[in-house]
Structure 1
Amino acid sequence: MGISTVTDPNVPESRGSENQPPPAWGPGYTDPSAGFPPPPAGPPGPGPAQGAPGYGQPQHGAPGYGQPQYGQPQYGQPQYGQPQYGQPGGAPGYRPPPVQRGIVPLRPLGLGEVLDGAFRAIRANPAVMFGISAVVITLTVLLDSLVQWYLFSDLGQLMMLEVEPDAEVVLGELVGLAGGSTLSMLVSIIATTLLTGILILSVSRSVIGQRISVAAAWQRTLPRILPLLGLTLLVILLLFLVPAVVIVGAVLLFAAEAWAAAFGLMVLGSIASIVWMAWIAVRTLLSTAALMLEEQGVLGGFRRGWELSRGSFWRLLGYYLLVSMVVGVVASIIVFPAAMIPAMLQLDPLGDPVAIASSAVATIIASVLTTPFSAAVFALLYIDLRIRREGLDVELARAAENAATDASGTTRT
């Protein structure tokens, strides 16, 4: 049966499927509750059905392919991904029209389609993409701002004393500042990891024309918090492995007064650290999506993202740099005016409540606008690579058709 093309992303939510994993995320998909099966070694070659003539072989006593019986064609309507009647083997360059039930066509995606799909994903489910993002980011920034105000206000008062403060008091304040900053960083990592997982779920549903609710998104993500955090910490450790070795080596060389060797190590080590961090960031770019959508563990999600990125490093790096540039420009446009307020009012940018509040508001707005976009782009890149390498578009087309059928049946009843 032919599959029609629908480009409207605002497809009504399908009932009764919110608490199940996104359908058809694995080749050979059978049951949403059964988890994500690993991709097969290779798809079986097409063959004729039992009792039916082979491709290009006429039936006994009947006209062959391309020779219809009188008044009636021999072959029926072509299936998805198969050549049409009258095109044996498919015409040169022939491709069936791509199915689109959701935000992107179910075929390999170009740059424009990925970026457009990211905006469509936000419009398709703003309650999750913007609503949950606003809640999580606001709570995180407020906590960070309170810690900053508490720590820097005390440190600023010490610095403004007419007499030199006691060294132990200053050291205690610095230790508290380091501890508070570490706590804020950990909370930010946890919140960002959780939010990214939720946004990826929403994008995956929007691809097949479904919309996941806020409650269902939370319910699906909460059991994955520990694997998400484990994967995030693993990636962070790998990212800073080479820089840490360089720093330790430079400190040891400085302690041994080997100045030339220390400076040489710092220069070469800085270059090596940049290359290493870029390589790790790109190779693990799709690991979070694999962990969430395939319900993998920490190591399983890491390996899956590593495998999918193999052979696509430069393409993924280009997307990563482009998204980073877009996010940076948008954030700068929003944050820069807020950063000018303390300068115009001659306020302490680190300890004054007005300066901290203005910076917090700007950070919240910038993060709420940019985080859903970047998460949607990386989720679509994961889907695109699986379509290119594993034929995921066939399974997604089937899932989209089933979702549309279920929705229409629910509407009729």
Structure 2
Amino acid sequence: MTSPHDDAPRPPAWVSPTGAPPAAPPPPTGPVPPSSWGQPVGPPVGQSGTGWGPAVPPPVAPSGGPWRPPALQPGIIPLRPLGLGEILDGAFRAVRANPRVMFGLAAAVVTVAVALQQVTRWYVQGLLTDSMNRLLQESDPTGELGMADQMGALVGSVVSLPFTQIATTVLTGLVILSVSRSVLGQSITIGQALRTSRVWWVLGFTVLAGAAQLAVAAALAGGVVLLVSQDQVAAAVVVGLLGAVALFVALVWFAVRTLLVPPALMLEGKAFWRSVGRAWRLTRGSFWRLLGTYLLVSFIVGFVSNVIVFPVSMFTALVLQDPAGTSFASIVLVGIANVVALTLATTYLAAVVALLYIDVRMRREGLDIELARAAQADG
């Protein structure tokens, strides 16, 4: 564990997602909202202060412990460190709080991306089918096994993958922006979401991170090929196996350490690399909690996505007699299922990541106090 003060002498203030400076809170006319640890902020015990009356001992809960007032909750979550259930429930509340952005805009973006993906896949697999038939003449001379169609569909899917990757990355940034408003009980319009430019920083970081990971994987594959070319098969096997395990561990570690980069880029209003560095430092001491939460949510959305897509795939394979999914009807039906599944998965995952970022900052920097003041000023 590291100290909460290892990032900077003073943690940055909560920045409005629109880029406007935060409004100064009005003078308090009553009790100040509760702090991040549930204790009211006021005169010390044994002293008196204006508006507080004579000092009295704090009330005692029935269990005998000190009484703790409920946390302020202007929006989808209480303004205090969150539990796992509150994060999962808060993500659902974020969708209900602003369905136009969280589902309407998300569905529109995903629909365009999936449509481009399916058209590209259909075109590419059509170009490759004849070539694959010639290459697989010995393995499948009659074409009954459909190996050419399956290989063409696989290559087409790989070629068209960037469309959905770009769309989900941009959508993640827009969803994070909406969630940050919902925490304060506010909402953002589709126009306001689309006018933000920092979402392109999220896309840029995703591209850079993906390129770095591909470079490492390519270096490992190149080393294995080089060993094989020099007839060092045993060494190539050892390097390949150990390298694959090490690469997997490194990718998981890197993914968790950069998990909070998108919300930091969208919400903090800092320069690109300063935001990346801050997000990296925020994950210190929270690695396993972030990893466990993200794995659980990924499993949930993966299961729901399969529940949506698998029946459609089985229908096209058994009823339409198109196991490779190359016919127009199959492409349309699978595309619709993918739109629904990808919209739900991307929206919910992005909402969870945004709430994890806010939770980490409430735990380490007392962001809940600042959010409470902002909510009181807006109210």
TM range (shorter): 0.7 to 0.9
How far is 1:189 from its partner? 2.7
SS in 2 for 1:33: coil
Partner of 1:381: 356
Partner of 2:342: 367
Letter of the structure 2 residue corresponding to residue 132 of structure 1: L
Provide the aligned length of Structure 1 versus Structure 2. Answer: 331
How far is 1:202 from its partner? 0.4
How far is 1:245 from its partner? 2.6
Letter of the structure 2 residue corresponding to residue 145 of structure 1: Q
Partner of 2:95: 122
Q: 1 CA distance for matches of 2:202 and 2:87?
A: 24
Q: Deviations over 1:259-301 (max 9, x none)?
A: 1011111111111111011000100000000000012333222
Partner of 1:71: none
Partner of 2:195: 219
Report the more deviating stretch, 365-374 or 387-396.
Answer: 365-374
TM-score by length of 1: 0.73
How far is 1:256 from its partner? 1.1
Are residue 144 (structure 1) and residue 126 (structure 2) matched?
A: no
Q: CA RMSD in A?
A: 3.1
Report the more deviating stretch, 148-157 or 393-402.
Answer: 148-157
Aligned with residue 327 of structure 2, among 342, 352, 357:
352
Letter of the structure 2 residue corresponding to residue 322 of structure 1: L
How far is 1:76 from its partner? 2.0
Retained in 1: the 8 A contact 2:124–2:155? no
Q: Deviations over 1:213-232 (max 9, x none)?
A: 11111112xx2243222211
Bigger Rg, structure 1 or 2: 1
SS in 1 for 2:127: helix
Partner of 2:308: 334
Q: 2 CA distance for matches of 1:185 and 1:293?
A: 28
Are residue 86 (structure 1) and residue 62 (structure 2) matched?
A: no
Partner of 1:18: none
Retained in 1: the 8 A contact 2:15–2:269? no
Specify whether residues 349 and 182 from structure 1 end up closer, same or farther in structure 2 by C-alpha distance, changes over 3 A only.
Answer: closer
Q: 2 CA distance for matches of 1:391 and 1:126?
A: 29
Retained in 2: the 8 A contact 1:108–1:387? yes
Q: 2 CA distance for matches of 1:163 and 1:246?
A: 30
Aligned with residue 374 of structure 2, among 399, 403, 407:
399
SS in 1 for 2:20: helix
Specify whether residues 367 and 179 from structure 1 end up closer, same or farther in structure 2 by C-alpha distance, changes over 3 A only.
Answer: closer
Retained in 2: the 8 A contact 1:235–1:284? no
Letter of the structure 2 residue corresponding to residue 206 of structure 1: S
Identity %: 46
Alignment of 1:35-184 (within 5 A): 65=47, 75-77=50-52, 85-87=55-57, 93-159=66-132, 184=160
Specify whether residues 162 and 368 from structure 1 end up closer, same or farther in structure 2 by C-alpha distance, changes over 3 A only.
Answer: closer
Letter of the structure 1 residue corresponding to residue 213 of structure 2: L
Q: 2 CA distance for matches of 1:234 and 1:77?
A: 55
Partner of 2:37: none
How far is 1:153 from its partner? 2.0
Unaligned runs of 5+ in 2: 1-10, 23-42, 139-151
Aligned with residue 33 of structure 1, among 20, 26, 29:
20
How far is 1:243 from its partner? 2.6
Q: 1 CA distance for matches of 2:135 and 2:352?
A: 54
Specify whether residues 27 and 264 from structure 1 end up closer, same or farther in structure 2 by C-alpha distance, changes over 3 A only.
Answer: same
Retained in 2: the 8 A contact 1:230–1:298? no
How far is 1:343 from its partner? 2.0
Q: 1 CA distance for matches of 2:321 and 2:108?
A: 31
Specify whether residues 152 and 146 from structure 1 end up closer, same or farther in structure 2 by C-alpha distance, changes over 3 A only.
Answer: same
